Amino acid sequence: MTPRTTRIVGFVAFAAFVVFVAVLPTFIGDFKAREYSYVGIYLIALLGLNILTGYTGQISLGHGAFMAIGGYTTAILMAGNEQFGGPIPSGMKDVWTLPIAGLVAGLVGLAFGIPALRLSGLYLALATFAIAVAMPSTAKRFEEFTGGGSGIQLFGTPELTGSISNVEIFGLSFSPNDWMYYLAWSIALVAFAVAWLILRGRTGRAFRAVRDSETAAVSSGVSLARYKTLAFGISAAYAGVAGGLFAIASAFVNPDAFPVALSIYLLVGIVVGGLGGLSGLVFGAIFIAFLPLWAQGQDLGSLLPDRIIQETQKPGGPAMVYGIVLILLMFVIPNGVGGLFRRIGQLISSRRYSRAK
Amino acid sequence: MRRRSALIAALATALCAMPVALAGSGADPGVSPTTILIGGTSPLTGPAASYATVARGAQAYFDSINAKGGVAKRTIEYRIVDDAYNPAQTVQAIRRLVEQDNVFAVFNTLGTEANLAIRDYLNQVKVPQLFVASGATTWGRDAAQYPWTIGFQPSYAAEGFVYGQYIAKTQKKAKVGVLFQNDDYGKDLLASLKSGLARSGSKVVAAEPYQVTSPDVGSQIGKLKASGANVLAIFATPTFAIQAFVFANRLGWRPLVINNAVSATSNTMSLASEGGKNKSIEGTISTTPLKDPLDPRWKNDPGMKQYRAILAKYAKGANPNDANHLYGMAVAHETVALLKRLGASPTRVGLMAKARSITGAGNPFLLPGISVKTGKGDNFPLQQGQLQRWTKGRWVPFGGLWVSKRN
Amino acid sequence: MIVAAFSDFMQQVVSGLASGGIYALLALALVIIHRSTGVINFAQGEMATLSAYIAWTLTVNHGLSYWPAFVACLAISFGGGVGIHRVVIRPVERGSVLRIVIVTIGLLVAINGFVIWQWGGEPQQLRSPFGTDTYDVGGVIVAAHDIGTIAVALGIVLLLWLLFRFTKVGLALRAAAVNPDEARLVGVRVTWMLALGWGLAATLGAVAGMLTAPTVGLDPQMMQAVLIYAFAAAILGGIDSPIGAVVGGLLLGVLLNMLSYLSQYDAFGWFTEELRLPAALLIILVVLLVKPTGIFGKPEVKRV
């Protein structure tokens, strides 16, 4: 296929996906729409993380912390922190906090990206892991700002759109769950398009050059410092927006809502989705959103024997299943779902190519 | 080329989607002619997994009732969802239970923060948040604002106050050092201990917090000893309470120890006694509303026999000495009693009305004389406890039952 | 008064050393696995917890007395470590760093789940091989167990030094990690060397678990908190240096207790208990940025 046809196929597929996302709630019912809104939220975070890890080659085990920064930004702007003795009044509508959540997290990401320049591979993984671990304790320490361990309640506040009653907008009426779904997915689709635009241009080429060989990138005039920090900033901004949406969807934030496990799940998500690709990430997001449920036998009642389901519902059972599935996935699809598709695609097109010959 | 996979992604997403179960008509959600469905979250994994046995005990009790035909010809189905002690996951799981599984009531969800995260939602959609597994005061105190929420166990505030009063009455000018978990639970106990001590000659001279992420509390115990305290109050979960005894003993410190109910099971105490070598543990004071599984007094007690029989039959492999099972059964017992009073056509409104008018028919898993009561102006189901002293390897009760006058 | 204050201060130092000894033992396991396989093992803490549970179950349920159980547990752990390498790590060894990271995280989650599933979440007690004796040294109390723990850590350092310095196996281990292809050319059985590295680390982890449990209580989460501090200790001392791990661990334990002790004075009032963990992690960041090889590490030469 020529680049031109590739691009056309891409546009058509994306358009089809947009239509699919738009009509999906009609078929899956109200509550499932809420659960799929989390898929959209995780997708945003994964897009960001993949720009950093998949395209620029920097491992982050700390993206849950950037989500926390976004989540807290959103929650504090909505509910204020005057009730804990902080300086910020309540009153910003949920949707308008999201750009700020992205901006704040992005700035923190940029700031972290500068020291991260000196680290690579496992050391960067460790350093970012440290950030993820430190996040909950730090949020507890600054109680007057974050509400400490009890957190911030958003449900029922006037700033939260659609706590319980339908949302009327553009002459349409959405149930609270549908509203959450469309909010999350419209932002996710825009985020997807933006990521694609960033990655196909100059910046994307520079990112990939940095990943493939730093030495070669430098010798061909790419500024390592500039692109590595930039990737960190963009990536953290994505996580911040996702964190803000996460706070809105949960209508509650506290330090335990952003555990180390969240950072780990995100990394798992991009590996399952496929490093260095975008569309596979949808699967990564589905994986993160649903595996914790599947690991305890939810929704699988008819697929697995009762005996196994019972065992997975014992204390410790879900974790055991989750861990084993993770390991098996690394064996079975080392390049993620995206990599699997690419291989299938290559097989098909190479066959076609040889036939044309 | 890459974009093509988006289509496949879309198809797979559609396949993953499952149709929503339709709610039955007529009766309240969760009630069918043969079953009644309740649900709640429990930390099956993660840092608080040791509390998952509460839900297991409750589950076993419901199973035993079901084996006898259930309540009003309905079997009780109790659906437990793991939330890994993460309130964001609690929110998702509870909404799933309410909106997809259509539970009749949310039952005994564990953790203060987890319950705070779902309280506003459940009160908005008018689904009972029954017998919350947390000792925060807010469940009873704010009943007017949250009519669909009710707690169960004695509040931490009531418990701390009792310790304060005990010290005030029995000690002259005691200097109290407190080890507390740095969250709402620990802080509630600390604050109420102080108010129990008020206007007596005794006071808190040092209070050292610990984080659940700390490996050990050795440094804290050292500082408390250095403060010159002669009473040590341990407001900590079992692992850290055991450490506190071990470290106090190592430092040769022999204060009067107050140990909170959460960590006062014989199981925990006998671990802390290091096979009898720990000299700081003798004479420790605590309180409990529950019978103690290891206490020889209850060897032939019908309630405890029932407890052990149910656990052996319906929770195979469960450790009967883990008193969380017993707590779970005590809550399940009260729930069954409520459902019985609801009769043939249970409603959510009726459930809450009955839960706010419990007359205390007795509970075989609680100490004799202790009953679960609620009524007008009283929204705290359990408000009594028994003071007890650790003497030669077992708890010895003393001083009659206390009743909390303040919550 | 001053004397009392000094002994309180020294008590905090001693208590810091005791915590540090625990960090040091697990840090040693982390160092060994990094040194002999180049991997940072996120599951190291959980492997140690599992070993401690095995020791406990051998003594409690199978009636072994302490030392036979101790030895049996070391042997089982060594076998387990080798097994984990053969079954779980080897298939991903040649892939990207990321896959290994995720596989070790998968192990962490799975082993933690298994321990809870098998033995329940409530705490248990594992006894100390050094007993519960304490010594009063000028008003400062020192526990036999803590002295024993630090002595064991130093003993392990010595053994490892002998192993890497004077034995062929030690050299082969090192070669297999640093340059597997060249090592293979000179006849080193690289795969078995890597498996041996995992076995050694698991054995050290078992020692760490069995000596940690008597202090902090045997419970499924006991090593999760320790792991983070052990990472900090290993980085501080130098991720390839056994003696660095021990010095780093002890230093970290004392340093954190000092900050906590000083917080009674206004100048350090900002340091609250919540900051204990972030402070340890800040140490990781600062060391990685300022001197990535740690106190005892040798600088690495980067080749193009």
pLDDT at A353: 55
Mean pLDDT confidence for A95-113: 94
In the prediction, which pLDDT does C3 show? 59
Task: Give the distance from residue B387's alpha carbon to the nearest chain A alpha carbon, in angstroms.
Answer: 30
C229, C282 Cβ separation under 8 angstroms: no
Q: How far apart are CA C234 and CA A99, in angstroms?
A: 40
The predicted-structure confidence for A304-324, as pLDDT tens digits, reads as follows 777 777 777 788 888 898 899
Confidence tier at B6 by pLDDT (50, 70, 90) = very low
Strand pairing category for B285-288 and A152-153: unpaired
Which one-letter amino acid corresponds to residue B39?
A: G
* Span C219-271, pLDDT tens digits: 898 998 899 999 999 999 988 899 999 999 999 999 999 988 888 787 787 88
Phi, psi of B390 (to 5 degrees): -80, 110
- Whether C107 contacts C33, CB under 8 Å: no
Q: Tokens 């106090």, residue?
A: B248
Mean pLDDT of B282-304: 91
DSSP letter for each residue of A75-143: HHHHH-SGGGT-S--S---HHHHHHHHHHHHHHHHHHHHHHHTT--HHHHHHHHHHHHHHHHHHHHHTH
Question: What is the per-residue pLDDT for C254?
Answer: 94
Of the listed ranges A38-47, A337-346, B153-162, the one predicted with least confidence? A337-346
Interface of A with B in 157-176 (CB under 8 A): 163-164
Tokens representing residue A235 in the block: 């990536």
Q: What is the pLDDT of residues B87-129, one digit of tens each?
A: 999 999 999 999 999 999 999 999 899 999 999 999 999 999 9
Shortest Cα–Cα distance, B278 to chain A (Å): 31
Q: What is the pTM of this model?
A: 0.89
What would the mean pLDDT of B134-163 be, rounded to a whole number? 92
Range in A150-154, B10-14, B215-219, B250-254 with the lowest mean pLDDT: B10-14
Tell me which amino acid residue B392 is: K
What pLDDT does residue C4 have? 66
Q: Is B368 left (phi over 0), alpha (psi -120 to 50) or beta?
A: beta
Contact with chain A for residue B216, Cβ under 8 A:
no
Confidence of residue B23 (pLDDT cuts 50, 70, 90): very low
Residues B348-382, buried b or exposed e (16+ Cβ, 10 A)? bebbbebbbebebeebbbbbeebbbbbeeeebbbb
A259: left (phi over 0), alpha (psi -120 to 50) or beta: beta
Helix (H, G, I), strand (E, B) or coil at B401: strand
> Under a CB-based contact definition with an 8 Å cutoff, are residues C82 and C199 in contact?
yes
Q: Most distant CA pair in chain B: distance in Å?
A: 82
Mean pLDDT of A62-66: 95
Q: Note the ipTM here.
A: 0.89
- A neighbours by CB contacts (3+ pairs under 8 Å): B, C
Give the nearest partner residue to C40 out of A122, A315, A323, using CB atoms. A122
Structure tokens at B128: 């009972």
The CB density around residue B325, as the number of other CB atoms within 10 Å, is: 28
Per-residue model confidence (pLDDT) at position C64: 85
pLDDT at B14 over 70: no
| Tens-place pLDDT, residues B186-235 | 999 999 999 999 888 899 999 999 988 888 898 999 999 999 999 999 99
Nearest partner of C282 among A137, A232, B217, judged by Cα: A137
Those of residues 24-83 in C touching chain B at CB distance below 8 A are none
* Cβ-defined contact of C141 to B51 (cutoff 8 Å): no
Q: Contacts of residue A321 in chain C, CB cutoff 8 Å? A: 113
pLDDT of residue C6: 83
Q: Do A98 and A244 touch, CB atoms closer than 8 A? A: yes
The answer, for B347 touching chain C at a CB cutoff of 8 Å, is no
Bridge-based pairing of strands B231-235 and B175-181 is parallel
pLDDT recorded at residue B407: 47
What pLDDT, in 10s, does the model give residues A9-20? 888 888 999 999
What is the per-residue pLDDT for A312? 75
What residues in B contact C277, CB-CB < 8 Å? Answer: 211, 213-214
**What distance in Å separates residue B18's CA from the closest CA in chain C?**
28
Distance, CA of A231 to CA of A235 (rounded, Å)? 6
CA distances from C232 to A196, A332, C20, C287 (A): 38, 33, 11, 9
pLDDT score of C78 = 96
Q: Which residues of A touch C121 (CB under 8 A)?
A: 315-316
The values of phi and psi at residue B211, to 5°, are -95, 150
Is C117 in Cβ contact with A316 (below 8 Å)? yes
- In chain A, residues with a C-beta closer than 8 Å to the C-beta of B124 are 155-156, 163-164
- Do β-strands B384-391 and B394-403 pair in parallel, antiparallel, or remain unpaired? antiparallel
Are C288 and A125 within 8 A, CB to CB? Answer: no
Map residue B214 onto helix, strand or coil. Answer: coil
Contact C55, C168 (CB under 8 A): no
The rounded radius of gyration (Å) of the Cα atoms in chain A is: 21
Burial of A89 (0-12, 13-18, 19+ CB in 10 A): exposed
| Confidence bin at A46 (pLDDT 50/70/90) | very high
H or E element that contains B179: strand B175-181
> Quick one: tokens of B300?
């032939």
CB C212 within 8 A of CB C53: no
- Residue A53, helix vs strand vs coil: helix
Cα C85 to Cα A125, A321, B303, C200: the distances in Å are: 21, 20, 51, 11
CB of C159 within 8 A of CB of C142?
no
Q: Is the pLDDT of residue A350 over 60?
A: yes
Give the pLDDT mean for A7-35.
Answer: 87
Average pLDDT, integer, range B323-329: 93
| Band of pLDDT at residue B19, cut at 50, 70 and 90 | very low
- Alpha-carbon distance C247 to C297, whole Å? 12
Q: DSSP letter for C273, please.
A: G
Q: Write the DSSP string, A286-306.
A: HHHHHHHHHTTTTT-TTTS-H
Question: Cα C47 vs. chain centroid, distance in angstroms?
Answer: 11
Does C90 lie at the interface with B, CB-CB under 8 angstroms? no
Residue B382 backbone zone (phi > 0: left; psi -120 to 50: alpha; other: beta): beta
pLDDT for residue B10 is more than 70: no
B6 near A189, Cβ under 8 Å?
no
CA distance C106 to chain B (A): 14
What single letter denotes the amino acid at residue A290? F
Q: Which chain B residues are within 8 Å of C120, Cβ to Cβ?
A: 50, 53, 318-319, 322
Question: For residues B252 and C173, what is the distance between their CA atoms, to the nearest angstrom?
Answer: 46
Cα angle at B366 between B323 and B352, to 5 degrees? Answer: 100
- How many angstroms separate the CA atoms of B300 and C46, rounded? 41
Is the CB of B319 less than 8 angstroms away from the CB of C120?
yes
* Integer CA distances (angstroms), A97 to A73, A74, A92, A234, C97, in order: 7, 5, 7, 18, 37
Arithmetic mean of pLDDT, A277-293: 89
Which pLDDT score, from 0 to 100, does residue B8 have?
A: 45
Given this model, what pLDDT does residue B26 score?
58
Q: In whole angstroms, what is the distance from residue B40 CA to residue B93 CA?
A: 8
At A216-257, the pLDDT tens digits run 888 888 888 888 999 999 999 999 999 999 999 999 999 999
User: What span, in angstroms and rounded, lies between the C-alpha atoms of A341 and B265?
Assistant: 56
Say how far apart CA A234 and CA C66 lie, in whole Å: 56
Flag the least confident range among A119-123, A279-283, C211-215.
Answer: A119-123
DSSP string, B322-382: -HHHHHHHHHHHHHHHHHHHHTTS--HHHHHHHHT-------TTBPTT-----BTTB--S-
Q: What percent of chain A has pLDDT over 90?
A: 37
Q: How many helices (H) and strands (E) does chain B have?
A: 13, 11
Closest by Cβ to A17, choosing from B6, B18, B91: B6
Whether A1 has a pLDDT exceeding 70, the answer reads: no
Among left, alpha and beta (phi > 0; psi -120 to 50; other), residue C138 is left
**Cα dihedral sign for C238, C240, C246, C252?**
positive
Minimum distance, in Å, between the CA of residue A216 and any CA atom of chain C: 10
Distance CA C239, CA C31 (A): 5
Using a CB-CB cut-off of 8 Å, the residues of chain A touching C117 are 311, 314-317, 320
**Maximal CA-CA distance, chain C:** 69
pLDDT of residue B56: 92
